[in-house]
Structure 1
């Protein structure tokens, strides 16, 4: 999670005016976040935050809050689906992967719908079948190389390569380690946030990669879309937030678990738009 001012209370990322009923710890939003924390499902969403020492603190603060907002909306939807029995409620590995796949899908839908994300381009799912005659380690290596290739498509600098490579390795390992114990589709999402092509003060670029693995046919499917963070639009959403401080602290803790900070050299020029050329 990106940190703009370590001396500020965490809850100040959202300016809230909760009513007494919204402060009750048993409301559905708080229940959803607590459920996600207690289930401790395998991680399927990764927020990769590319930041510099010259970033405007208000931008970083709003990006922090936007990730927390997305996490909240994702978990509320997952909680609702579990309550409707559209998703399993048990804590098995298979159930965790099923909920995790839904999280990735819901996040993708949210990024298309929220008023503060402007999608510039979208590449639909591409499919590649992995060889069926490979060993455990060879399959993991094939997965890693394919995932890495898509994450590196933006021609980022070496320091960023290293962190994205670790994400690719983590995803590949989680897929092969689960083996036959989890026959469901396995889906992962990586949201990379970067300064734009005009330096730290330019609008932030969002790049969302989705990876879906079909363990039956050994297919790896990947998709991408690139968007711009419209900060002024998000400020209005943030100002009108009714999340109480205790609820926000919970969701920030969950978002932190899914976040990786990468500190960039400055000056830094983003190449994340290249996928749209």
Structure 2
């Protein structure tokens, strides 16, 4: 039987250092694959997201400006993923030789743009996802598991993304956030209605370190105990901190063990997330 292969890349996103940031697998497909095969590949890669990108307008990857993009965790398809979109754009720009200034991805969250910057970083144009105050008592078990005995200053929920946002009290420091060690599988027993599919924990920044805010993100409901650097979470965080600081530009740090940085600018109901990448691996997956 003739063997068939798919080329796969692994890219560390929202970092310029190898083995930090958030790793994503990217499969650039000349011909689309069945959904069940995409799910198997994503499970095999076992990263927070595997992206599958195809050409939309009949050109080549080198010449096209329009693509279709889907993202899968090891267990679920997701509607929006920032770091895997950044990784996909980096492969198209840096590895496949696309010279377009900007390209578009047709996704479950609508049309998303990726723009090449002069310093090799890439800017993503995403929808802004505001949250609203939420009664903490309704999700007290989630708060207990994630924040333990830490004082929570604000609780918000984003109905668009099903993300719960917990802001730690201002008395805490970055290290306190980094030291959080929730038993994330316990969260699955706390909430199973679908109201929450991810928990953001955030803290005001330290201007001496050059950051406006810090965060971490946990999403065991979609197969990700902790996402190292989450672009979609920052579509919620940007809207939240815009109200707190009354400004529209931020420097953010996600404080997972791998860690990563984002530059953020809000324009109307859109948010621009700018980051760098580190290219880690190129290989082939045998699919039959």
Superposition TM-score tier, normalisation by shorter sequence:
under 0.3
Structure number with higher helix proportion: 1
Larger RCO, structure (CA 8 Å, separation 6 or more): 1
TM-score (norm 2): 0.26
Structure number with higher strand proportion: 2
